Chains A and B, each alone.
Chain A
Amino acid sequence: MKLENLTFKGGVNVPHYKELTEGLSIEKAKEPEIVYIPLHQHTGAPCEPIVKVGDSVKVGQKIGQSEAFVSAPVHSSVSGVVKSIENMPTPTAQNVKCVVIESDGKNELHESVKPKGDLENLTQKEILEIIKEAGITGMGGAGFPAHVKLSPPQDKKIDTILINGAECEPYITADHRIMVEYPEKIVFGLKAIMKSVGVDRGIIGIEKNKPDAILAIKEAIKNKPNIQVATLKVKYPQGDEKRLINAILGRVVPSGGLPMDVGTIVCNVSTTKAIAEAVLEGKPLYERVVTVTGKGVKEPKNLLVKIGTPFKDLIEQCGGFAATPGKIISGGPMMGISQYTMDVPIIKGTNAILVMTEEEAKPEKVYPCIKCGKCLEVCPVRLQPLYVGGYAIKKNFDKAEAYNALDCVECGACSYICPAKRPLAESIRLAKREIIAKRKSK
């Protein structure tokens, strides 16, 4: 079966803006002087600190953990001294307990950071334990702990692992550069994942606007008949998990269901690299590749950044602002979260910092809906955003629910295309929160 030029129904063409950074090699970011490491960077239970103020820590040392199964430990990204443990804003939430560590600049590795042995000799259980201990979470989206994702219940038969290299968000090139520069790590990580789940088919899906990444990965999978590359049409949101599964495997994840319901698990490229490094080097997830980009920064870059580094350090390293900034976004322009402050730290799930200029960030005038139906055409879930959003704006959340608001993946395609500039995704997101809150309180 040829896996070429695949895609899903619906979606929208968005400008890429990737030319700013797609040709730039990953650079090591400057050593941060102080890091702010949140104890809750993932979906699931927050960690409790296991260090105290005044403790000396080393790179890769575990500093927070939780007894809960759905959680992921956090590690220090520098060697130095714990200055304080306090509540601070992070890119995804307002008040999160963070461990503040002052770096001594020596970057001494913790003794636990050492190779975990030959993949051939590791058992399924051992690999999962390595991944769990390394604190690996999904690095593209919600930050779901990887070891939980890779431990499906017995009754879910998994036959294929998909690696998500679509990277369909405009501007972001972190995964792209990783695939070009570390293709063998991606392939190794995929092999480790396949072994941990007990599956012998792996497919790496890449959008066709990254020919160099496709080439590099194809080169790296030579003589590996059970791993394939699938090339994908360039369309937003191709990288949405369920869209990716639909495009590559032709399967439809049921509404409210998970990929494992249709026999597959999807991992993002950065996550796969982190898994490879956890096995090969024993390295916990304490640094990641971040694209710092946008018209608002002078020199956009792909940086290898330590978790806990404040946004402002990185923007400074990219030459500072090129124009008066209007918005600073954690992530891409379609799904990223705009920030109140540049003091927030990079967390495991931060794939980009996007600085939009004041001019670009200007809100557009909203007109009444003209019923053109364009939002329906682009919605990958086949919702009727004009009605879901329309009821949501009127705070009629029951009606919004009846129009399947909860199936919305918040991709933003509807708001993007709307000629009347209606805040559809924005209001549907709000409705979802309300509906879920109401369900919980019942």
Chain B
Amino acid sequence: MDGKVVDTSKAYEVALENELLVTSSPHIRSGETVQRIMLDVIIALTPAIIGSVYFFGINALKLILISVASSVFFEALIQKMLKKPITIDDLSAVITGILLAFNLPASAPWWLPIMGSAFAIIVVKQLFGGLGSNFMNPALAGRAMLLTSWPAHMSTFTGTRPDVVATATPLAIMKYGMSPDGAASATASATTSATIEAVTSATSAQGAELPELIDMFIGNIPGAIGETSALLLLIGAAYLIIRKVIDWKIPVFYIATTFVCLVLFGVESEFLPYHILGGGLILGAFYMATDYASSPVTPIGRIVFAIGAGFLTALIRVKGGYPEGVSYSILLMNVATPLIEKFTKPRVFGGAK
């Protein structure tokens, strides 16, 4: 209170007039709020947002804004239709919007993020109970849906230089561009819509050369608009770890496992840095795999989850049909999360071993 002094010598009367609040302890709460946590994530994503506009131009900004606006709109809409309280003020839809846009190529048409966010927010998030109850990361599920439905739009990557129209991501170059018949073998199996992505990537990967590592680190490479700059993503991630918004164990175990598995699968050491810095691994490990609702809450469970995602990412990249693999790995682990939690229940202090 603003130092207002109730003039009373008889404390008793004041208390009588005034109903005392009786509740169970504790009687104080920390300053932590859901909004603050979400705001922190948005702050952490800001360097990468600015970077995406710098590297990919104004179209990147347009996609991000459309994606955020439609995510928030769909959240309000579906909550209104389901007659639930409207919770767009918790800012979580904003994050879903940003992350979804981050997964799009800069050349994506304006309606692509609208489709993606409608699916992410309405189906994946709200129909499963809203924030905290979604069992999959909405942004990633949205991306997967877009990739299945519009594979060509999702995998035509523009470079960071305006004169280059279509380029391959470094991982696509490694996967297809290095083998003499890369495109041919990918084309041969292009029977489903999903493999069009592989074909598109593979065609543009023909004869392309890997970028300089420093460009990859900074983000000056072709790719989805928000995933290319390891540097800017890591700056935001450091902020989230310091603010204790995310648990460092998930990204660290994830990336380390990917690395180890790639080595075990025989990937040559000169390609390893490209694998770590490319293909949305940094974005996925720090910002997607750490999604609260779709990853385990138990400490050991988080490590198991991260190791599983790391292994799957390496497996998909080396043996699978896609060059990247991060989103499917995380989505698969999302599905496994309830099971992981069940088997990693912490042992109660002083409890039986």
A→B interface (CB under 8 Å): 12, 14-15, 170, 242, 246, 252-257, 295, 298, 312, 315-316, 320-329, 331, 333-342, 354, 356-361, 363-364, 367-374, 376, 380-384, 386, 404, 407, 410, 412, 415-421, 423, 425-426, 429-430
Contact of B22 among A242, A257, A340, A419 (CB under 8 A): A340
The smallest beta-carbon distance between B291 and chain A, in angstroms, is 9
A424 (CB) vs chain B CBs: closest residue: B26
Distance, CA A326 to CA B15, complexed state (A): 9
Residues of B within 8 A of A364 (CB): 29
Contact A382 B346 (CB under 8 A): yes
Residues of B within 8 A of A295 (CB): 1
Contact B25 A335 (CB under 8 A): yes
Distance, CA A216 to CA B311, complexed state (A): 58
Distance, CA A257 to CA B130, complexed state (A): 41
Number of A-B contacts (CB under 8 A): 199
Contact of A333 among B4, B21, B27 (CB under 8 A): B27
Instruction: Tell me if B33 is interfacial: C-beta within 8 Å of chain A.
Output: yes
Residues of A within 8 A of B4 (CB): 323-324
What are 6 A-B residue pairs whose CB atoms fall within 8 Å in the complex? A316-B12, A328-B20, A335-B25, A335-B26, A338-B20, A339-B22
Nearest 7 pairs between A and B by C-beta? A412-B26, A373-B297, A323-B1, A419-B32, A426-B24, A255-B350, A370-B132
Instruction: Tell me if B241 is interfacial: C-beta within 8 Å of chain A.
Output: no
Residues of B within 8 A of A328 (CB): 15, 20
Instruction: Tell me if B30 is interfacial: C-beta within 8 Å of chain A.
Output: yes
Q: What class of interface size applies to chain B in its complex with A? A: 35 or more
Distance, CA A198 to CA B1, complexed state (A): 53
Majority-rule SS of A interface residues: loop
Known contacts: A334-B25, A383-B348. The answer to whether A372 contacts B37 by CB under 8 A is: yes
Residues of B within 8 A of A334 (CB): 25-28
Contact A336 B25 (CB under 8 A): yes
Distance, CA A323 to CA B4, complexed state (A): 6
A377 (CB) vs chain B CBs: closest residue: B299
Contact A416 B26 (CB under 8 A): yes
Contact B22 A338 (CB under 8 A): yes
Contact A340 B34 (CB under 8 A): no
Instruction: Tell me if B352 is interfacial: C-beta within 8 Å of chain A.
Output: yes
Distance, CA A295 to CA B6, complexed state (A): 12
Contact B15 A342 (CB under 8 A): yes
Contact B34 A420 (CB under 8 A): yes
Contact of A368 among B132, B345, B350, B352 (CB under 8 A): B132
The smallest beta-carbon distance between A327 and chain B, in angstroms, is 5
Instruction: Tell me if B81 is interfacial: C-beta within 8 Å of chain A.
Output: no
Contact B1 A338 (CB under 8 A): no
Contact A373 B6 (CB under 8 A): no
Instruction: Tell me if B349 is interfacial: C-beta within 8 Å of chain A.
Output: yes
Instruction: Kindly list 12 other residue pairs between chains A and B, CB separation below 8 angstroms, not including A323-B3, A327-B22.
Output: A12-B30, A242-B349, A246-B349, A252-B350, A316-B12, A324-B4, A328-B20, A335-B25, A363-B21, A370-B132, A371-B132, A376-B299
Residues of B within 8 A of A423 (CB): 24
Contact B11 A315 (CB under 8 A): yes
Instruction: Tell me if B149 is interfacial: C-beta within 8 Å of chain A.
Output: no
Contact B348 A382 (CB under 8 A): yes
Distance, CA A387 to CA B27, complexed state (A): 21
Instruction: Tell me if B8 is interfacial: C-beta within 8 Å of chain A.
Output: yes
The smallest beta-carbon distance between A390 and chain B, in angstroms, is 11
Contact B1 A361 (CB under 8 A): no
Contact A325 B5 (CB under 8 A): no
Residues of A within 8 A of B352 (CB): 255
Give the one of B6, B18, B130 with max A CB within 10 A. B6
Contact A382 B25 (CB under 8 A): no
Known contacts: A323-B1, A407-B348, A412-B26. The answer to whether A340 contacts B37 by CB under 8 A is: no
Contact with A along B64-98 (1 / 0, CB 8 A): 00000000000000000000000100101000000
Contact of A407 among B8, B9, B24, B351 (CB under 8 A): B351
Contact A370 B32 (CB under 8 A): no
B133 (CB) vs chain A CBs: closest residue: A368
Instruction: Tell me if B115 is interfacial: C-beta within 8 Å of chain A.
Output: no
Contact A252 B297 (CB under 8 A): no
Distance, CA A326 to CA B6, complexed state (A): 13
The smallest beta-carbon distance between B280 and chain A, in angstroms, is 23
Instruction: Tell me if B36 is interfacial: C-beta within 8 Å of chain A.
Output: yes
Contact A358 B28 (CB under 8 A): no
Distance, CA A112 to CA B105, complexed state (A): 89
Known contacts: A334-B26, A342-B12, A382-B349. The answer to whether A373 contacts B20 by CB under 8 A is: no
Instruction: Tell me if B298 is interfacial: C-beta within 8 Å of chain A.
Output: yes
Instruction: Tell me if B190 is interfacial: C-beta within 8 Å of chain A.
Output: no
Instruction: Tell me if B347 is interfacial: C-beta within 8 Å of chain A.
Output: yes
Residues of B within 8 A of A321 (CB): 6, 8, 11, 14-15
Residues of A within 8 A of B1 (CB): 295, 322-324, 357-360
A254 (CB) vs chain B CBs: closest residue: B350
Distance, CA A329 to CA B26, complexed state (A): 10
Known contacts: A255-B348, A381-B349, A407-B349. The answer to whether A370 contacts B26 by CB under 8 A is: no
